[in-house]
Amino acid sequence: VTGASFVVFNGALKTSSGFLAKSSIVEDGLMVQITRETMESLRQALRDKKDFRITCGKMDTGDVKEYVDICWVENEEKTNKG
For 16-33, write each residue's pLDDT tens digit.
998 999 999 888 899 999
What per-residue confidence (pLDDT) applies to 4? 77
What per-residue confidence (pLDDT) applies to 22? 93
Q: Which amino acid is at 67?
A: Y
**Rounded Cα–Cα distance for residues 54 and 68 (Å):** 5
Please check whether residue 74 lies inside any domain of the structure.
no
Using CA atoms of 11, 65, 52, 24 in order, give the dihedral in degrees to the nearest 10.
Answer: -40
What per-residue confidence (pLDDT) applies to 5? 87
Mean pLDDT across the chain: 87
**Rounded Cα–Cα distance for residues 9 and 68 (Å):** 11
Report which of residues 76 and 11 the model is more confident about: 11
Please check whether residue 79 lies inside any domain of the structure.
no
Gyration radius (Cα) of the chain, Å: 14
pLDDT tens readout for residues 11-20? 999 989 989 9
- Name the residue range of residue 64's domain: 4-68
Please check whether residue 18 lies inside any domain of the structure.
yes
Number of domains in the chain: 1
CATH number where 40 lies: 3.30.1360.220
